Amino acid sequence: MQARMARYDVRNDGAGPYAIFYCDRCSREFRSQPNVKATVAQTVTRSAFSGLLRGVPVIGDIVDSASPIQDPRYMTTLTPEQLSAAWSQMAAVFHECPTCRQLVCPTDWDAQSGFCSDDTPRRQEIADAQAQQAGAMVKGFAEAFGLGDRLRDATQTQGETIKACVSCGADTKTAKFCPNCGTPVLQAVIGTCGTCGAETKGAKFCPECGTKQGAA
């Protein structure tokens, strides 16, 4: 069990009070189970007791007025013992980050490093994996709607880079400096003009606004 209890709220849907614990990071809800057996037993006992005293003046009226308040079906509070029992049901779900000290749910927890998703040293690795997963989902949707070819064409166009030196025109491939004149090479994505958005098709100057392509 965690050293401290997560943020919680008490609710009742008619089966007895229960606790809802919240993740400090995403506020996702995790609900404990109400004690249904105790609620049923207490309700049956109270109904029988009320029936016996209903014909008794004054006492019957007191039982009737107190019943909704004490009936577990209407209670919205938990005793310390009930709250502790509810937390024991959900404590294993939460993890406390050693850096930010927040109690987080499995979605915001990196079990491999033992830190929350914001403080883990594998944050960049996780972000890259999520980006790849998102890309796979987009590709799947595109294939499902018959747009796979268009998506592949757009990806190939945006993935191309300028390989010629802007000073001497020598082939630079992926070098950071031109091997012929030493000019710093700006590997810019071609396909659209960064100024007006027009399609350039690899041209050195935009056919619409004349902006030189390949600039930072």
Q: Looking at the domain assignment, is residue 207 inside a domain?
A: yes
Closest by CA to 212, choosing from 182, 172, 167, is 167
Distance between start and end Cα atoms, the chain: 54
| Residue 47: per-residue pLDDT | 59
Residue type, 15: A
Same domain, 43 and 110: yes
- What is the arithmetic mean of pLDDT over 204-208? 82
CB 30 within 8 A of CB 20: yes
Burial class for 139, CB neighbours closer than 10 Å (0-12, 13-18, 19+):
middle
pTM above the 0.75 mark?
A: no
Q: What is the pLDDT of residues 98-114, one digit of tens each?
A: 999 999 999 999 999 99
Q: Is 31 part of a structural domain of the chain?
A: yes
**Could you give the CA distance from residue 201 to residue 161 in angstroms, rounded to a whole number?**
11
pLDDT tens column, 121-166:
988 887 787 788 887 777 777 777 776 666 566 555 544 445 667 6
Question: What is the model's pLDDT at position 215?
Answer: 47
- Do 84 and 35 lie in one domain? The reply is yes
Q: Please compute the mean of the pLDDT values over residues 21-46 and round it to a whole number.
A: 83
Would you say residue 2 lies in a domain? no
Regarding whether 91 and 41 lie in a shared domain, the answer is yes
Mean pLDDT of the chain: 77
Q: Average the pLDDT over 60-85 and give the result.
A: 73
Whether 71 is in a domain gets the answer yes
Q: Greater confidence, 65 or 148?
A: 148
pLDDT at residue 188, rounded to an integer: 47
The residue ranking higher by pLDDT, 11 or 186, is 11
In sequence order, the 6+-apart residues with CB closer than 8 A to the CB of 137 are none
Q: Is there a single domain that holds both residue 111 and residue 14? A: yes
Helix orientation angle between 36-53 and 59-70, rounded to the nearest 10 degrees: 170
1 lies in a domain?
no
Tally the domains of the chain: 3
Mean pLDDT on 14-41: 89
> Is residue 102 domain-shared with residue 29, that is, in the same domain?
yes
Pairing relation of β-strands 17-22 and 29-31? Answer: antiparallel
- Domain match, 12 and 111 both: yes
Answer yes or no: do 74 and 51 share one domain.
yes
145 and 74 share one domain:
no
> Is residue 188 domain-resident?
yes
Instruction: Tell me, yes or no, whether 171 and 147 share the same domain.
Output: no
Residues 6+ apart with CB under 8 A from 134: none
Predicted pLDDT of residue 216: 41
State how far the Cα of 92 lies from the Cα of 14, in Å rounded to an integer: 26
Range of 22's domain? 7-116
The answer on 184 and 99 residing in a single domain is no
15 and 69 together in one domain: yes
Percent of the chain topping pLDDT 70: 69
